[in-house]
Amino acid sequence: MRALIMGGTTFFGKRLVAQLCDDGCEVTVATRGFTPDDFGDAVDRVRFDRTSLASMETAFSDSRFDVVFDQIGYAPDDVEDACRVFAGKIDHYVFTSSNAVYTSPGARLTEDAFDPTSIPPGRGRMTELGYSDGKRQAEAYLFQHAPFPVAAARFPVVLGSDDPTERFQFHVDRVVRGEPIVVGRPCGRMNYVAVQDAGRFLTWLGTTRRVGPYNGGCPDAIDAGEMVERIGWFAREVMRSGP
């Protein structure tokens, strides 16, 4: 299987690339080329600008892939460009989406809580639309207009030690410094997914040629109190190990 990963040098994108390589796929990683990786000769590399249709056409004009994994698509204009560039050149497209597409929080949300065919896809990039609406409209464009089969991975918060957003680490650091964490009550339960599992989930969507939206998360959810307890445990481990 020939796989292209747009993005793939950070966080669960790295796990996706590693898993595909382990599975014997021929992997090409396409990025701006600013972030180094540790894959050596195991992958091919392409430099491109995801926000430029001309750059994408130049980078992939002579390419053919069995599956494309889109880690850096955030809005309808992004995926419209991809549909133009990859039409007739790929067999499957896996879009990394988010559970931010759901407009109302709720327990045990299923994929049909947001139907991407129910809204007209707009235009714009994430800088104009914001993250949630950008992902929502990107899904809408793909599932209504893509000229190839599409799967969308809707992830909750992804946890890992190398999370570039440092969401979890931010709170651990506050506890280590003796600063408070303020949690409103009552709080609902939230789902999370480990970074390694996110990479495996994306690989599964691509290698099994799944079609449609899929929630990717842990079997169980935890509430804010349980999360604070886990933050406290990590903070104690940091303080125990010393600087």
Task: Decide if 131 is inside a domain.
Answer: yes
Is residue 237 one of the residues assigned to a domain?
Answer: no
Helix axes 131-145, 76-86, angle to 10 degrees: 30
121: helix, coil or strand? Answer: coil
CATH number for the domain including 58? 3.40.50.720
Residue 62 domain-assigned? yes
> Is 58 inside a domain boundary?
yes
114: Cα within 13 Å, side-chain hemisphere:
28
List, in order, residues 6 or more apart from 138 with CB less than 8 Å away: 73, 74, 75, 76, 78, 79, 95, 97, 121
Q: What is the DSSP letter of 9?
A: S
pLDDT per residue rounded down to tens, the chain (243 residues): 999 999 989 999 999 999 999 999 999 999 998 888 999 999 999 999 999 999 999 999 899 999 999 999 999 999 999 999 999 999 999 999 999 999 876 667 899 999 999 999 999 999 999 999 999 999 999 999 999 999 999 999 898 888 888 888 898 899 999 999 887 766 677 888 999 999 999 999 999 999 999 999 887 788 878 888 888 988 898 888 875
- Residue 73: inside a domain: yes
Residue 238 lies in a domain: no
Is residue 98 in a domain? Answer: yes
Q: How many domains does the chain have?
A: 1
Give the predicted TM-score (pTM) of the model. Answer: 0.91
Owning domain of residue 107: 2-158+192-219
